[in-house]
Amino acid sequence: MPNLSKNGNLALGQPLSGGSSAYVAPVKTASGNAVIKIDMPRPYGFQQEIDTIIRANGHGYVRVLKFDYERRALLLEPLGLSMQDIKLEPKQAIRLLCKILRQAWLVPSGADQTINALEYKAQTLAQLISELWVKLERPCSEKIISQALSLRAAHGCF
C-alpha cells in the first residue's frame, strides 16, 4: 500500500463534523475523491488502528488508500453520508451497526495485540454510550441508555 507522504497534491475540503480525536476532511486527489484523517497525538493506538483497518480491507472498516505513520495521517475511501445525516430509525441504525461490527470483529488480531479485541471493543463502545449521554446533557432517559447497553448482548454485536 502506498505511503501517504509520497503524494503531495491534495485539495482539502471543509472539516467533517462528529469526530472526537482526529482532524477529518474530504480531499480531492489526482485519482479522485478521498478523506484524510490526521490523528491527534496520543501515547498509543494509532499504528494498531492503521494495521487493523488495513488487515480488514474494507470489511467492517473503511478502506485505507494511503498512510503515513510518522505524520499520523490516513487517506481513506469516501463513504458518503453519516448515519446521523441519513436519519435512520433507531432499530434500523442498531441493526446496521451490529452488521458492521460483526464484520469488523472478524478481522484477525495483529501479532502485537495483547488485549482481546472483542472485549476491548465492547468496553470502549459501552463507555462511549455512557460518556456521550452525559456530554450531550442526557438527551434521553436513563432507561434508554440501559436498554442500549443491554442490546449489545441481545443482538450479539458486542
**Distance of alpha carbon 83 from alpha carbon 92, whole angstroms:** 10
pLDDT in tens, the chain (158 residues): 555 545 467 888 888 887 777 899 999 998 899 999 998 877 666 777 888 888 888 888 899 999 888 888 899 999 888 877 888 888 888 888 888 888 888 887 776 665 555 666 667 777 788 888 888 888 888 898 888 777 765 555 54
The gap from C-alpha 45 to its chain's centroid, in whole angstroms, comes to 13
Whether 77 and 65 have beta carbons less than 8 Å apart is answered as yes
Q: Running DSSP on this structure, what letter comes out for residue 144?
A: H
H helix intervals, 17-136: 46-56, 83-86, 90-104, 117-135
Q: Report how far apart, in Å, the C-alpha atoms of 132 and of each of 18, 76, 94, 96, 125 are.
A: 12, 26, 16, 20, 10
- Contacts for 25 with CB less than 8 Å, ≥ 6 apart: 12, 13, 14, 15, 16, 35, 36
How many Cα neighbours within 13 Å face the side chain of 7? 22
**Distance of alpha carbon 57 from alpha carbon 120, whole angstroms:** 21
pLDDT on residue 158: 45
CB atoms within 10 A of CB 57: 11
pLDDT on residue 7: 47
